[in-house]
Amino acid sequence: MIKVIIFDVGGVYLDGSFVNFVNKVNKVLNINKNFHTNQEVIVDIRLAKGEIPIKEFFKKYFKKKINRKQMRKIIKIWTNTWKLSTEMKKLVKKLKKNYRLAILSNSDSLNSQNYEKKGWYKYFDVLILSHKLGVRKPQKKIYDIAIKKLNVKPKECLFIDNQEECLKPARKIGMKTVLFKSKLQLKKELRKLRIKF
């Protein structure tokens, strides 16, 4: 019996991708490279653990001197890379009528504050954000923290993520999981699991 539905943020709850961000910034910094898949762009894990300030992360990631004007542009791109679609907002609101909802995400302080301000987190009862905890997916510890905070058994949770490697530890501890590919596919999977929405 599912009591809690847990969402990843980037690429699941919110549309957008790190690849798009990198490609846009490459243009700002005159870097002649274009990426196509998430596998090509490895994110510094220290960002998700809250161990490195965002501006420092950008400098290290792009390995270039970044002037103030460029930095302002990069921050603007970063905070506008992920968006909440009307379709996902409707789905979450419907799910909230029958289930507790949670976020479990590799996060950073800048975008988390941004999403909070925009009211995108208001539908969720519990937020498990890596930058605040110093642990990230797929480390087992973050899933254990989620279970503890939610005060439920793993088998009472459904976790939705767009990365298989982040679903494995969830399954290992007993959560039900869905690999997110599209909103249409997600709805089909939810129906299969007899989730009401």
pLDDT 10s digits, 106-135: 999 999 999 999 999 999 999 999 999 999
Q: In the prediction, which pLDDT does 39 show?
A: 65
Angle between helices 109-118 and 68-80 (to 10 degrees): 50
Q: In the prediction, which pLDDT does 74 show?
A: 98
Strand order in the sheet with 157-161: 126-129, 100-105, 4-7, 157-161, 176-179
What 3-state DSSP class applies to 40? helix
Low-confidence ranges of the chain (pLDDT < 70): 38-40, 42
Q: In the prediction, which pLDDT does 35 show?
A: 83
Q: In the prediction, which pLDDT does 194 show?
A: 97
Give how far Cα 78 sits from Cα of 16, 20, 116, Å: 10, 10, 15
